Amino acid sequence: MHCPFYFIISMTMNHPYDDFPNLLFSNNTATATSTSSCVEQHDGIISLDMDWDCDFHDLIESMMSDKGATTESSPVLPCYHGQEGISNSSSTGLSMADELDHDVEADESKGLRLVHLLVAAADASIGADKTRELTRVLLAKLKDMTSTNDRTNMERLAAHFTNGLSKLHKEANVQRQYGPHQHPDVHDRVDVMLAFQMLQNMSPYINFGYLTATQAILEAVQYERRIHIVDYDITDGVQWPSLMQALVSRNTGPSAQHLRITALSRATNGKKSVAAVQEAGRRLTAFAESIGQPFSYHHCRMESDTFNPSSLKLVRGEAVVINCVLHLPRFSHQPPNSIISFLSEAKTLNPKLVTLVHEEVGLVGNQGFLYRFMDLLHQFSAIFDSLEAGPARGFVERVIFGPWVSGWLTRIAITAEVESFASWPLWLATNGFKPVEVSFANRCQAKLLLSLFNDGYGVEELGQNGLVLGWKSRRLVSASFWASCESSE
Amino acid sequence: MFHAKKPSSMNGSYENRAMCVQGDSGLVLTTDPKPRLRWTVELHDRFVDAVAQLGGPDKATPKTIMRVMGVKGLTLYHLKSHLQKFRLGKQPHKEYGDHSTKEGSRASVMDIQRNVASSSGMISRNMNEMQIEVQRRLHEQLEVQRHLQLRIEAQGKYMQSILERACQTLTGENMAAAAAVAGGGYKGNLESSSLSAAVGSSPHPLSFPLFQDLNIYGNTTEQVLDHHNFHHQNIENHYTGNNAAATNIYLGKRRPSPSFGNDVRKELLMWSDQDQDLSVNQPFDDEHRIQIQMATHISTDLDSLSENNRGKLLERLSPRRSPLAPMMNPNGGLIQGMNSPFG
């Protein structure tokens, strides 16, 4: 099978690495510019005589010069981090009163310092053995400076990243293994679900993916009598009630469309995931019954990472839809090979539609850990900023973001396993799938959804067959639609 | 032999001539100095068939059409001009049907209009079609809005059910005990969950007083209600006499909170006493619900914001504001319009 790795889409990345300093520089030109001793890095050894106020741009440049990334000259775009926080934490945009200016400055220089430290720690953590001590020192300092209860976004985010890096660091001393990661702070199921719900109210992140995919499905199967959806990762089944409701409302009487969902579970995710899939089935069945939607549910276990389509039960005359929603905070590891296998094999089912929803992170192929780390930092800064303030925000951050960040850090550190596709859409396009256009109604719905939340969100078109949710200049989630090249329209 | 025929009703702009004659081949020709071919319905039908046989107006050429039609007296000249008009006439339909193309479809309608400017009949037809198209889109947007609300609600109901279910499994015995203590504080398993820890322990002075005041695991239902009502009135003061604002908030900035199953605090309290309905829920028309939600969010926001920011926040909720982000909005023109008629 043609290996699609290492595609590099250079400028289609909306978050080119040279954008990264934009994240950090602010209007406030009072940033310390002392250049007495900048961070020098040779072979991963960072001088401990650091002047923490040195120009961050130089730091990036020196660290990146041998990584081949390009950096721009000092940009002056306003940074957006730190605008919304649990409290009304200061930022360049909002604060007007004089007495707050000092706090703004302090916040931002601290933010910069934190990023310095994080990047340095990340770099040190993958360095050769002699940097292990350095990593420990850096992480200790970070832990000292941050906490998940802090006032500003940057501090809290840095705390989560610090925790994630610490775990990586510890695990590096122990034999690394795949499989479900048991985080010491694993939260119980109720907390997770609560936090999940709250997250839906703070950001359109989750529902953008669900609703956009569902709308495309509805359009694709409009005239089908039987619909069969194969769901790669059903989570709690939250995507499907809205589909059922839509089906019920547009069909009356004998023209009811029959819906069948097959949810996959992967054995490597453990017994819990199997139980979750089964529970989702029960809930969905109950819901379907309550609204009168003909429905049946199946659970398909994947024993390994390869998907075998013959393990599905198929019914003649049904339209098959492949649903691959990958953007949710994942607590279990889903190696890209499993997804590739799933998509390739699923193609043989001749699906009417393939929906693909994924986060816009970790997608750049052939880049080193540090690049990916920064990309991740960038992504989560954007998400953090985009969340609406609310009383339960800290809770959501701890329950969902902490593990989410840790999971990602682990993923990108295991370089062999990282999703080094430039993008899933490209993979699909070159592996026998053709794009399916996004409808006007779908675009409308996306914009409407966004209007319910903070300003700063936007929807972009992704070619002809996709939509991307972004916050300010950062793409967050994209949804794209495909059909197999052989399927008849 | 030529038979003189009375001209039947005018067919578009082609002929204003008085007399038409029908030749041997069945073609109807006008008798003016420059004989023009009259495209009758039958002839046009044959033309359309031939074009279809040849794979559509883009693939067909006058020569091939002529061959396929096999009509004597039909010249390439006739066919060329008719085919061109046919192609242009078809274009608007194709664009409208395929409404998933980008906004350029509207531009191309304009192009078409320019191209056939000479043909006044076609202009009026295109204008009409454009109006219809615009109306159709507006209608579709309305539909989308309606559907979205229903879908969000369905999703919210589902989530509440799974949450309740998960909690029930966890706190079976505790719930039974708590239910017996009607109106008392709810002290279930949740007390030990990290939710209470997280919520209760936020040390910063600017963290939301709402949560700390509520101390949801200790308060009675009535206390919660009072709290809600108090804030509800607070908000009402801000929007006195400005019903339009409230309505707009509903339509333009409706918080999906209740529908996504958020007001978990309410849910938690409901479990402690299944029978006692929170009166907050009863007049649960959407507007009321929204104001409550906003109250819980906004009251605390307003308290902690500085003057400037409060002004900003209120401004966001005012009717004149368009909630849609201006960037990356190719349909901007159309969607903006959505706010005003429904406000």
Chain A closest-CA separation from residue B111 CA (Å): 22
Give residue limits of the domains in chain A: 188-361+421-484
Q: Which of A420, A339, A396 is nearest to A193 (CA)?
A: A396
DSSP A252-284: -GGGPPEEEEEEEEEGGG-HHHHHHHHHHHHHH
Percent of chain A with pLDDT over 90: 27
Which range, A190-204, A209-223, B96-110, B272-286, is most confident? A209-223
Residues of B with Cβ-Cβ distance to A189 under 8 angstroms: 166, 170
The per-residue pLDDT for A448 is 94
Summarize pLDDT for A8-63 with one digit per residue, the tens. Answer: 222 223 333 343 444 433 333 333 333 333 333 344 333 344 444 344 444 444 44
Is the CB of B140 less than 8 angstroms away from the CB of A437?
no
What tokens were used for A51?
A: 């002047």
Q: How many whole angstroms separate alpha carbon A318 and alpha carbon A259?
A: 9
Q: Does the pLDDT value for residue A74 go beyond 60? A: no
**Whether A275 contacts B195, CB under 8 Å:** no
HSE, side-chain direction, 13 A CA sphere, residue B225: 12
- Average pLDDT of chain B is 56
The per-residue pLDDT for A242 is 95
The per-residue pLDDT for A359 is 85
Q: Does the pLDDT value for residue B13 go beyond 50? A: no
Chain B closest-CA separation from residue A210 CA (Å): 10
Tell me the mean pLDDT in the region B267-271: 39
- Average pLDDT of chain A is 74
Residues of B with Cβ-Cβ distance to A97 under 8 angstroms: 306, 308
A353-359/A466-471 β-pairing:
unpaired
Indicate left, alpha or beta for A329 from its phi (over 0: left) and psi (-120 to 50: alpha).
beta
**In which band, very low, low, confident or very high, does the pLDDT at B145 lie, cut at 50, 70 and 90?**
very high
Tell me the mean pLDDT in the region B244-264: 40
Q: What's the whole-model pTM score?
A: 0.58
Chain A closest-CA separation from residue B254 CA (Å): 6
The per-residue pLDDT for A186 is 60
- Listed by number, the residues of chain B in 133-162 with a beta carbon closer than 8 Å to a beta carbon of chain A are 137, 140-141, 143-145, 147-148, 150-155, 157-159, 161-162
Q: Which of A321, A394, A329, A371 is nearest to A155 (CA)?
A: A394
Who among B140, B190, B204 is closest to A444 (CB)? B140
A457-461/A466-471 β-pairing:
antiparallel
Beta bridge partners of A478: A358, A468
Q: Which of A201-215, B91-105, B281-295 has the lowest mean pLDDT?
A: B281-295
Percent of chain B with pLDDT over 70: 30
- CA quadruple A154, A156, A158, A161: dihedral sign: negative
Question: Which residue type does B237 have?
Answer: N
Classify residue A418 by its DSSP letter: S
Q: Does the pLDDT value for residue A155 go beyond 70? A: yes
Is the CB of A291 less than 8 angstroms away from the CB of B330?
no
CATH 3.40.50.150 applies to domain A188-361+421-484: yes
List all residues 6 or more positions away from B329 whose beta carbon is below 8 Å from its beta carbon: A447, A458, A459, B335
Q: Which of A91, A194, A393 to mutate to test the interface with B (most CBs of B within 10 A)?
A: A194
Q: Which of A349, A318, A348 is nearest to A220 (CA)?
A: A318
Tell me the mean pLDDT in the region A405-432: 73
Tell me the mean pLDDT in the region B2-20: 46
Who among B100, B155, B256 is closest to A438 (CB)? B100
Residue of B nearest to A193 (CA): B163
Chain A closest-CA separation from residue B162 CA (Å): 7
Residue of A nearest to B298 (CA): A390
Is the CB of A194 less than 8 angstroms away from the CB of B264?
yes
Q: Does the pLDDT value for residue A188 go beyond 70? A: yes
Tell me the mean pLDDT in the region A266-291: 88
- Listed by number, the residues of chain B in 240-279 with a beta carbon closer than 8 Å to a beta carbon of chain A are 252-257, 260-262, 264
Q: How many CB pairs under 8 A join A and B?
A: 194
The per-residue pLDDT for A100 is 59
The per-residue pLDDT for A419 is 52
Q: What totals of helices (H) and strands (E) does chain B contain, helices first? A: 14, 4
Q: Does the pLDDT value for residue A180 go beyond 70? A: no
Percent of chain A with pLDDT over 70: 70
Is the CB of A194 less than 8 angstroms away from the CB of B195?
yes
Tell me the mean pLDDT in the region A444-471: 92
**Whether A284 contacts A237, CB under 8 Å:** yes
Chain A closest-CA separation from residue B52 CA (Å): 20
Residue of A nearest to B151 (CA): A242
The per-residue pLDDT for A458 is 93
Q: Which of A14, A295, A448, A450 to mutate to test the interface with B (most CBs of B within 10 A)?
A: A448
Report the 10 Å Cβ neighbour count for A19: 17
Q: How many whole angstroms separate alpha carbon A453 and alpha carbon A348?
A: 40
